[in-house]
Amino acid sequence: MSSALTRDALEAFWMPFTANRQFKDQPRLLARAEGMHYWTPDGRKVLDGCAGLWCVNAGHGRKEITAAVAEQMATLDYAPTFQMGHPAGFELANRLIKLTPGDLNHVFFTNSGSESVDTALKIAIAYHRVKGEASRQRLIGREKGYHGVGFGGISVGGLSNNRKYFGAMLPGVDHLRHTLDIEHNAFTRGVPEWGAHLADDLERLVALHDASTIAAVIVEPMAGSAGVILPPKGYLQKLRAICDKHGILLIFDEVITGFGRLGTAFGAQYFDVMPDIITTAKGLTNGAIPMGAVFVRKQIYDAFMKGPDGIEFFHGYTYSAHPAACAAGLATQEIYEREGLLTRGADLAKAWEDAVHSLRSAPNVIDIRNLGLVAGIELQPRAGAVGARGYEALVKCFEKGILIRTTGDTIALSPPLIISTAQIDELITRLGEVLKTIA
Ligand code: PMP
């Protein structure tokens, strides 16, 4: 099938986050998927070490999801949700709030993580405004944070390549320092001890700008896309305390950590820290249909409901709560519950941790980080060629039948939550073999 792709077809698809001109001649193609595996068009089987792109938490080809979507499409293919609705949207919202901690009981639907982030940032600013604190407009993100690709998301995000080509960012945004520190924390198992004091950056920004100008802080409880960066012990608690002290909203971007990745429904529960807003996408529908959701606490929802205007929040998407996505979401949540997948990461965490840390002696490995069913394996960059070693690992792993993800020279692993211990061994053994071949 790959040989059937014409030059025109190769040129036609401008691939996202891809070095198109280096890659297009021989694109890696995935043609089929089931359970823990993909198959290439020529029939090669590839063990999925990243749940697609951190999203296929219940494994591939779940027939219940396919059936639910097909039935929904045959019954109601599309319905607007502006000033009207359809039952599945309410049903899904009601099901999801059973999973969220505390009073995060109201759901705004989007179609992606990026849209969830922009929605959350807008809710935060508008919330203060409806409460009569219109001066609270500043947003605070974090270095190396990834919050999708909307202008709001790249503004609060802290990955320079995602920002530097795109002109002016949102005004009034500051960044906390990131928490990656290999000097102090290399090869820590789970969350590192060192670094909680980095949360004090927030006090410094409050002192600089005054709390009355700050709307919200947004962080990934565990940063995934930057290469698996863990919060030091006590760090998120500290951020929460400083936000409370100054009336600042705390947003957890849980597009990756939501839906079982850390062995709890959300990262908020794993870390036992209660945010005011949670953004999600990915695992919400097992990656089968695009969908995102933003969860807000009661006080935020109530403020809009009791606010000054008739329509509370001028925001929404044509496809907010799309029927097909709602059907996929409901079927996915059913699977998670029936198979206990939202806590399976906790059951497997020790075996996973031992397996990934067995790579410590592999060539060029300078750090290994793990949490739940996630791992980051950082390789020493080649002199003058940052990212080259990581990319070589990605290519060779794919040839060897395992799908990994890399950010620069860091390998990220986040397999479907259905992975068996034998498959964990297979994934790590094959990765170790590949690492031995990389000079
Ligand atoms: N936030 C986080 C934390 C993410 O990891 C991602 C995607 N990796 C996004 C936002 C953006 O999601 P999407 O690609 O669905 O827009």
- Identify the helix (H) or strand (E) that includes residue 295: strand 292-296
Pick the CATH number of 31-58+340-436 from 1.10.1060.10, 3.40.140.10, 3.90.1150.10, 3.30.930.10: 3.90.1150.10
Which atom, in ligand 1's list, is nearest to the CA of 292? 15
Ligand 1 mean position, distance from CA 145 (Å):
10
Among 282, 406, 414, residue to substitute to test ligand 1 (most atoms within 8 Å of Cβ): 282
Q: Whose CA is nearest to atom 4 of ligand 1?
A: 255
Ligand 1 mean position, distance from CA 159 (Å):
13
CB 360 within 8 A of CB 108: no
10-residue mean pLDDT series, the chain (439 residues): 75 92 85 98 97 98 98 98 97 98 98 98 96 96 98 98 96 98 97 98 98 98 98 98 98 98 98 99 98 98 84 90 98 98 98 98 98 98 97 97 97 98 98 97
Distance, CA of 334 to CA of 22 (rounded, Å): 42
- Ligand 1 is surrounded, with C-beta below 6 A, by 112-114, 117, 146-148, 220, 224-225, 253, 255-256, 281
Domain map of the chain by residue range? Answer: 31-58+340-436, 65-338
Residue 309, pLDDT score: 64
- Structurally, what CATH architecture does the domain formed by 65-338 represent? 3-Layer(aba) Sandwich (3.40)
Burial of residue 409 (number of CB atoms within 10 Å: 0-12, 13-18, 19+): buried
pLDDT tens readout for residues 408-418: 999 999 999 99
Residue 3, pLDDT score: 54
Token code pair at residue 90: 């309410």
Distance, CA of 248 to CA of 155 (rounded, Å): 18
